[in-house]
A = this chain, B = another copy of it.
Amino acid sequence: MSSQINVVGAGLVGSLLGLRLRQKGFDVRLYERRSDPRKVKRAEGRSINLALSHRGIGPLKAAGVYDQVAPYLIPMKGRMMHSKSADLTVQPYGKEGQHINSVPRSQLNKVLLEAAEQQNVEVFFEHQSTEVDLDMANVHFSNGNSASGDVLIGTDGAFSSVRKSMQLTDRFNFSQQYIEHGYKELHIAAINESFALDPNYLHIWPRGNFMLIALPNFDKTFTCTLFFPYEGDVSFASLRDEAQISDFFSKYFPDIPPLIPDLIHQFQNNPTASLITTKCDPWHRGKTIILGDAAHAIVPFYGQGMNSGFEDVRIFGEVGESVNWNWNELLPTYSKKRKRDADAISELALMNFVEMRDHVADPKFLRQKKLEAAIHDRFPKDWLPLYSMVTFSDMPYSEALRLGKIQGKIMQEVLEEGKDLIPEAMDFREIVERYKARK
């Protein structure tokens, strides 16, 4: 039980994993290419705030760090849609009391690193891995250092250097696919030390082929993200000068310019970043395995990137226990168990982009949401909406995707029959029986 484990990548997943493995009694070393975020302010390459939900909260509680994270959370109980005429409508995410939580990435990472160090995980910053011997679990760093141990775990993100070593081996399946959209972050300051928008919602400006969203920050600011095509008639490429940028926001997001006085400056100076999905198979080679984004980077539209990574940590631990931490069994067993769920959330995240930017403003979609809420109200145990299965349960993602597709089909049938338009005449029991029969 005194295995030496080296973890490459001390981001959210790596630091939580290191902490959990240390708590199981292993010797753990964490290597991170960047500097210590507690000492220097990082120029973030990634989004500032994230949506923490059920699948992420469980592992934080299991690690005993949730109480240190809780003060930084801002609950978001639903979507608040902003129309082109600045009208507001609300869609709750779940039942009364259910919500997701805006959390600052950097603060969460600091809490996890602090807890890991306190429990004697050794953390080494400014260690960029260059070469990995997968079978021997050895890793070399660009500063000349190297590390060896019994197991090597790569949690070094979507552009994982550990995975790159795996890509050079025979019969390693890999894909990286970018969507046609990029994103740009914009910042809404506090107004008179108050939030400029209702902080307890995730704000969405759905505009068909593109959208703007805003999440609250702990300092009463909001971080907006514009998800927008790179090319085309209305795209990053088409907004070249100040007048074009200004016209664009006036036309599509009329309530934004008053909230962001330096909008043009931000738009011209904040970077545009791309959105990648990566898949690979297998996740392990020899004594080396990858977890989190290194194994399955997804687009952010279901708010499940970090949550799925934390769930990886939970499941890795559960499989570890079940095989008595026999690494030769653990690595393939975990991969086999988890791969289909990673593929499912990857698909769900891409699907949800279309829902968020387009469907949420579609009358038929609103009818469907209403119908689903009515079914769920009457049969809360028999019909759990897809969003709830993904966000408020531990059900495997692949099962949620499978059931969600069946539900979607049944609701299409009901909507086509127009039955939802005469609610008093609707036979909810029949709908639920139809679902049960096809499950």
Given B171, B177, B230, which contacts A178 in the complex, CB threshold below 8 Å? B171
For residue A229, give the distance in angstroms from its CB to the closest CB of chain B.
12
Chain B residues, Cβ within 8 Å of A175? 174-177
Report how many copies the assembly holds. Answer: 2
Q: Which residues of A, 165-218, contact B by the 8 Å Cβ criterion? A: 167, 170-178
A248 to B173, CA, bound (A): 30
For residue A75, give the distance in angstroms from its CB to the closest CB of chain B.
35
A173/B171 in contact, CB under 8 A: no
A177/B173 in contact, CB under 8 A: yes
The answer to the question of A274 belonging to the interface, with a C-beta cut-off of 8 Å to chain B, is: yes
Given B174, B177, B230, which contacts A176 in the complex, CB threshold below 8 Å? B174
Chain B residues, Cβ within 8 Å of A178? 170-173
B176/A173 in contact, CB under 8 A: yes
A274/B171 in contact, CB under 8 A: yes
A28 to B174, CA, bound (A): 34
Chain B residues, Cβ within 8 Å of A172? 176, 178
Chain B residues, Cβ within 8 Å of A174? 174-176
Q: Name the residue on B nearest A170 (C-beta).
A: B274
Chain B residues, Cβ within 8 Å of A176? 167, 172-175
A170 to B182, CA, bound (A): 11
For residue A184, give the distance in angstroms from its CB to the closest CB of chain B.
14
Q: Name the residue on B nearest A275 (C-beta).
A: B171
A274 to B172, CA, bound (A): 10
Chain B residues, Cβ within 8 Å of A171? 178, 230, 274
Residue positions of A touching B, CB distance < 8 A: 167, 170-178, 230, 274
**What are 17 A-to-B residue pairs whose CB atoms are below 8 Å?**
A167-B176, A170-B178, A170-B274, A171-B178, A171-B230, A171-B274, A172-B176, A172-B178, A173-B176, A173-B177, A173-B178, A174-B174, A174-B175, A174-B176, A175-B175, A175-B176, A175-B177
The 5 closest A-B pairs by CB, nearest first: A175-B175, A171-B178, A171-B274, A173-B177, A170-B274
